[in-house]
C-alpha cells in the first residue's frame, strides 16, 4: 500500500468524523457576534463565555478601545515589518520601558505573541552546551521553544521540586548554566507551581529560573506581577515571560529579566527577528491595559477571585473531579471517552454556556477536561448559570 504524507494525521481525521456528528465543533467555535466581555452569540444563541482567559475583563474597556482607535488612525493598520527592520515604533519601545518599570527589572523585550516569546527565549538563551529542565506539564509553546534550540532538554515531574533536585544533581557542574522552566498558573487545571521550593532547589545548584506568568499576570500578587511576586521570590527569578492575550485583553508577549544581557540576545532570536511586529493599535491598547492593571488591579482581582471561588465551590458540590485548588482556571475532569466528552460539551453549549473541551494529547493526562476560565467581568448570576448548566448534566459527567 502506498504510504501517504498524511497518514500521521489519521487520529485527527477520526476525531473530525466524531465532531461532524455534532452541530458545533468544539475546536472551531464561531463567535457570530460579540455582545460583551462575557457574552456572545454562538450558534444563533446568546451564550455565556466561560472559556476565554479574559481574566480582568479589559477587552471592552473604553480606554483601551480609544487608545487602539487613535493609534489605528494615526499610525495605520500594521507596521509591515519586523522589529529588526522597520517594525519598531515609539510605542513598542515605550511598552518595553513600562513593562520593565512594572516588574522593577532592567531588561524587557516585547514579542508579537506569547507563543513567540517562549520560542525566542528558549531557542536562544540556552545554547548547545546548556540544559533546560522543564516541568512536564508545560505549555506547548515551551516545548516548541526547546525543540527549536540546541540545548539538552530534561523533563521533571509536574510540580515536584524533589525530582527537579535529582535531575539537576545528575548534571554536575553543568547545572550552573541550566535553565529551569515552570509556569505560574498552569493553564489546564489551574494549579500553581510550588515556587518557593523550586527556588530553593535552583539556588542549591546555581541554576537559572524562568517563570511563564501567562495565566498569572494580573491574577496573582499584591501588584499583579504574578506568582513570582506572590511567592516573594522576585530576586531569585532570572526571566519572566508572559502574554498580553489574557489579563491585558490584547495579543502579544514579553520577557523581562534582571539580566541586562537579555538585550544582547535580542539580536540572535530568530522568532523575534523574522516575525512582523505588533500593530500600533495593539501596542496602544496594551499600554493602557497595563496602566489599568497598575491602578485598578486590586479591585479587578477581588472580583475575579470572588467569581473563581464561587464557580469552584459550586461545581465541587456536585462531586466532580476538580483541580487541587480554587483558581480562575476551573477544570472538571471527565473520563477517556471522546464521544461522551464531546456530547457533554455540546449539551453545555446548548444550555448557553461555552467552555473549553480539552482532549488528549492536549490534556495533561489521558482523560478529557471541561475547562472554564473566568473574568472579573462575569456577574454572580452568570457564574450561577454556569453552575446550573453543569449541574443539569451532573449524572452524565460523573458517569463519564
Domains of the chain: 14-59+297-399 (3.90.1150.10), 79-278 (3.40.640.10)
Our CA angle for 111, 113, 118, nearest 5°, is: 75
Q: Are 126 and 268 in contact (CB under 8 A)?
A: no
Name the pLDDT band for 1 (thresholds 50, 70, 90): low
DSSP E strand stretches across 38-89: 39-42, 45-49
C-alpha 381/C-alpha 207 separation (Å) is 47
Residues involved in catalysis = 187, 215, 246
- Global pTM reads 0.95
Name the pLDDT band for 338 (thresholds 50, 70, 90): confident
Strand order in the sheet with 152-156: 107-111, 253-257, 239-243, 208-212, 179-183, 131-135, 152-156
> Is beta strand 239-243 parallel, antiparallel or unpaired with respect to 208-212?
parallel
pLDDT in tens, 164-199: 999 999 999 999 999 999 999 999 999 999 999 999
C-alpha 306/C-alpha 311 separation (Å) is 9
280: which residues sit within 8 A by CB, 6+ positions away?
71, 72, 74, 75, 76, 78, 79, 89, 91
Query: Cα–Cα distances in Å, from 96 out to 104, 206, 267, 291?
Result: 12, 28, 16, 13
pLDDT in tens, 61-110: 999 999 999 999 999 999 999 999 999 999 999 999 999 999 999 999 99
Amino acid at each position: 500500500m502506498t504510504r501517504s504524507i498524511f497518514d500521521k494525521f489519521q487520529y485527527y481525521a477520526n476525531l473530525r468524523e466524531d465532531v461532524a456528528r455534532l452541530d458545533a465543533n468544539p475546536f472551531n467555535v464561531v463567535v457570530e457576534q460579540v455582545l460583551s466581555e462575557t457574552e456572545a452569540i454562538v450558534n444563533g444563541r446568546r451564550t455565556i463565555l466561560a472559556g476565554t482567559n479574559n481574566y480582568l475583563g479589559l477587552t471592552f474597556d473604553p480606554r483601551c478601545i480609544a487608545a487602539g482607535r487613535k493609534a489605528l488612525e494615526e499610525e495605520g493598520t500594521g507596521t509591515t515589518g519586523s522589529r529588526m527592520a522597520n517594525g519598531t515604533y515609539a510605542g513598542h519601545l515605550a511598552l518595553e520601558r513600562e513593562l520593565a518599570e512594572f516588574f522593577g527589572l532592567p531588561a524587557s523585550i516585547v514579542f508579537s505573541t506569547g507563543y513567540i516569546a517562549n520560542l525566542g527565549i528558549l531557542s536562544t538563551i540556552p545554547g548547545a552546551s546548556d540544559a533546560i529542565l522543564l516541568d512536564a506539564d508545560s505549555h506547548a509553546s515551551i516545548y516548541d521553544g526547546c525543540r527549536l534550540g540546541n540545548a539538552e532538554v530534561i523533563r521533571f515531574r509536574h510540580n515536584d521540586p524533589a525530582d527537579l533536585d535529582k535531575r539537576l544533581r545528575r548534571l554536575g557542574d553543568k547545572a550552573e548554566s541550566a535553565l529551569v522552566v515552570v509556569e505560574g498558573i498552569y493553564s489546564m487545571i489551574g494549579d500553581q507551581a510550588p515556587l518557593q521550593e523550586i527556588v530553593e532547589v535552583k539556588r542549591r545548584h546555581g541554576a537559572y529560573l524562568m517563570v511563564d506568568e501567562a495565566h498569572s499576570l494580573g491574577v496573582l500578587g499584591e501588584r499583579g506581577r504574578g506568582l513570582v511576586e506572590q511567592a516573594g521570590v522576585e530576586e531569585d527569578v532570572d526571566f519572566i515571560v508572559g502574554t498580553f492575550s489574557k489579563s491585558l485583553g490584547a495579543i502579544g508577549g514579553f520577557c523581562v529579566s534582571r539580566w541586562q544581557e537579555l538585550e544582547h540576545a535580542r539580536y540572535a532570536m530568530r522568532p523575534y527577528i523574522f516575525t512582523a511586529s505588533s500593530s500600533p493599535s495593539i501596542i496602544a491598547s496594551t499600554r493602557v491595559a497595563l496602566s489599568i492593571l497598575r491602578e485598578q488591579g486590586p479591585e479587578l482581582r477581588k472580583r475575579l477571585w470572588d467569581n473563581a471561588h464561587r464557580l469552584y465551590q459550586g461545581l465541587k458540590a456536585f462531586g466532580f473531579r476538580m483541580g487541587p485548588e480554587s483558581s480562575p482556571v476551573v477544570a472538571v475532569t471527565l473520563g477517556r471517552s471522546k464521544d461522551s466528552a464531546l456530547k457533554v460539551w455540546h449539551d453545555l453549549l446548548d444550555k448557553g454556556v461555552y467552555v473549553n473541551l480539552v482532549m488528549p494529547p492536549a490534556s495533561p493526562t489521558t482523560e478529557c477536561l471541561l475547562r472554564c476560565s473566568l473574568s472579573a467581568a462575569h456577574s454572580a448570576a452568570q457564574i450561577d448559570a454556569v453552575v446550573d448548566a453543569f449541574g443539569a448534566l451532573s449524572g452524565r459527567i460523573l458517569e463519564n
